[in-house]
Chain A
């Protein structure tokens, strides 16, 4: 089954304790992205990656890191989480857009609470 998986689905942590949210896709997609969803703000892009070893900042990259060592995986790293990073996080992937825009496929989300 074609899918994007994220782990963990739920996480409660404390300020300053490093954490990693994993993301994996089995569709051989080149493009992967991380979003956070907050009430009244919709989905905002954190980081994206066009391909292996190619990553760049989105709209809200502060406090986050990513890596893309393999095509299928795109982990999101919070080196020193703070309460303002409490949010719902989504990983997404898509093929190269080509002529028409190819929609992004989203993972199920990770609910993160930073105390």
Chain B
């Protein structure tokens, strides 16, 4: 049962344009959503997060939007740069799972973003 889904395995964008990466979830218990970026031969690095009580969070070129009624979040990158080419994972936390105060993170399958010069 995939509770967090990234239905687009890949996305190709021209430099300077907007990149929109999408993520859908099924569990209404999720209270935090995060995006991680992963370059080849490196571990994922945290990019941006959003609490379920908000609908938007912005950090420079990166903006995450949350639509709770649709159980959908998206990451917008504007303008896209070739250095943004990476795998992007969305993740969601269930505070009531995992048996601890940390909750439990569930990751999506990842989307490969390629930004062409």
Contact: A43 with B103, CB < 8 Å?
no
Contact: B110 with A104, CB < 8 Å?
no
Interface bits B57-90 vs A (CB < 8 Å: 1, else 0): 0000000000000000000000000000000010
B116 within 8 A of A: no
A114 within 8 A of B: no
Contact: B93 with A4, CB < 8 Å?
no
Residues of B within 8 A of A40 (CB): 9, 109
Q: Given A106-B44, A108-B43, is A42 in contact with B108 using a C-beta cutoff of 8 Å?
A: yes
Residues of A61-115 at the interface with B, using a CB-CB cut-off of 8 Å, are 90, 92, 94, 96-97, 100-101, 103-109
Residues of A1-50 at the interface with B, using a CB-CB cut-off of 8 Å, are 4, 31, 35, 40-45, 48, 50
Question: Contact partner of B109 among A42, A97, A103, A109, CB < 8 A?
Answer: A42
B107 within 8 A of A: yes
Number of A-B contacts (CB under 8 A): 62
Residues of A within 8 A of B41 (CB): 108-109
Interface residues of B toward A: which range? 20 to 34
Residues of A within 8 A of B42 (CB): 108-109
**What residues make up the interface of A, taking CB atoms closer than 8 Å to B?**
4, 31, 35, 40-45, 48, 50, 56, 90, 92, 94, 96-97, 100-101, 103-109
A-B contacts, 10 listed (Cβ < 8 Å): A31-B102, A42-B109, A43-B44, A43-B89, A44-B107, A48-B100, A56-B98, A56-B100, A90-B43, A109-B43
Q: A104-B46, A104-B105 are in contact. List 13 more A-B contacts (CB 8 A).
A: A42-B107, A42-B108, A43-B91, A45-B105, A56-B100, A90-B44, A97-B101, A101-B49, A101-B93, A101-B103, A103-B34, A109-B42, A109-B43
